[in-house]
Amino acid sequence: MGYENVIFEVKENVGILTINRPKVLNALNPATLEEIEDVVDRLSSGEEAKVLIITGAGDKAFVAGADISEFPKMNSLQARIFAQKGQAIFFKIENLPIPVIACVNGYALGGGCELAMSCDFIYASEKARFGQPEINLGIIPGFGGTQRLARLVGRAKAKELCMTGVQLTAMEARELGLVAQVFPPEELMEKTLEVARGLAQKSLVALRAIKEVINKGLEVDLYTGCALEAEAFATSFSSVDAREGAMAFLEKRKPTFKGTLTQ
C-alpha cells in the first residue's frame, strides 16, 4: 500500500510512523486512519520492527484532531461508523504486541489526544498541548477519549477536561500522569529514539507480556490481575531469552536477546 498521508520508516529495529498532513495540522480523516491501520497491521508480527514511535509532521502539531471538514457531510450512521473505525484502529495500537511510544511534538487535541492515549506511554515537547475540545463543536470525543482519559487521570478530572474543553500544557499533563516525560522541542525525537532503541534490545516476549498483563489487569480486580501476572511470569520462562538473561547476569555480561514474539 502506498501512503499519501503518513510516512513510515524503520531504523535500527524502530519503526517511525509520522502523520504527514502538516497543512491541516495532521488532522485525521478516513484515508489517514486507513493508512495508520495498514502500518499497524504490518507490525503485528514483530518482524518488521520491535518498537513503534508515532509522531506528527512539522513543528506545530502531533495531531490536532479529526478532520472537521468531514463533519458536515456526516449523518448519524456515518458518524457512528467513523467513530467505530477510529476506535478499532486505536485498539489495534493499544494491543500491538510491541511497545508503542507517542512522540507528541505539538497539539494533541481531540483525535490526536485519543491517538496518543492509545500508545503505551507519551513523551512530549515542552510546546505540546493536550485536550478533548469536542464540546466546543457541540459533540463529544468519539475515538475512546472519554474512556481512556478517565482511566489515566481519574473520573472527575476527565469529566472536567471533556466538559470544558480546556487544553493542558505538557507539564500539566505530566503532573496528571497523562505524559511520562517532557523534553525541549529540539531534544524530543532523539530522546524518544534513545528509549526506543533501548527497548528494541530487550526481550520481545517479556515486553509483550508486560503490555498484556498491565492492559488486562486494569480491567479486573487485584487478585485476578495478579493471577494473570503469575501465568505470564511462568510463560516467560519458556522463552529463549529467559535463559539468556539469567546466564548473562551470572556471567556478568550484557544479554543478547534473540527471541521472537512467540519464543
Closest CA to 63 of 95, 104, 101: 104
> Which one is catalytic: 70, 126, 134, 231?
134
CATH of domain 204-250: 1.10.12.10
% of the chain beyond a pLDDT of 90: 92
Residues 154-208 have pLDDT tens digits of 999 999 999 999 999 999 999 999 999 999 999 999 999 999 999 999 999 999 9
Beta strand pairing call for 129-131 and 168-169: antiparallel
Residues 126-138 have pLDDT tens digits of 999 999 999 999 9
CATH of domain 6-200: 3.90.226.10
> Which one is catalytic: 37, 114, 160, 219?
114
Element (H, E) at 67: none
Catalytic annotation present for 37 = no
Write down the domain spans for the chain.
Answer: 6-200, 204-250
- For residue 190, what is its C-alpha cell? 532523539
Which pLDDT belongs to residue 39? 97
Catalytic annotation present for 4 = no
Q: For the chain, state the CA radius of gyration.
A: 19
Contact 98, 46 (CB under 8 A): yes
Q: Indicate the pTM of the whole model.
A: 0.95
Residues 80-136 have pLDDT tens digits of 999 999 999 999 999 999 999 999 999 999 999 999 999 999 999 999 999 999 999
Contact 33, 86 (CB under 8 A): yes
Residue 263 has pLDDT above 80, yes or no: no
Residue 259 has pLDDT above 90, yes or no: no
Contact 114, 90 (CB under 8 A): yes
**Size of the chain in residues:** 263
Residue 66 has pLDDT above 90, yes or no: no
Sign of CA dihedral 16, 261, 92, 146: negative
Q: What is the DSSP string of 130-164?
A: EE-GGGGGT----SSHHHHHHHHH-HHHHHHHHHH
Beta strand pairing call for 51-56 and 14-19: parallel
Closest CA to 127 of 103, 102, 107, 101: 107
Residue 9, SS3 per DSSP: strand
Q: Which residues contact 167 (CB under 8 A, 6 or more apart)?
A: 109, 129, 130, 131, 133
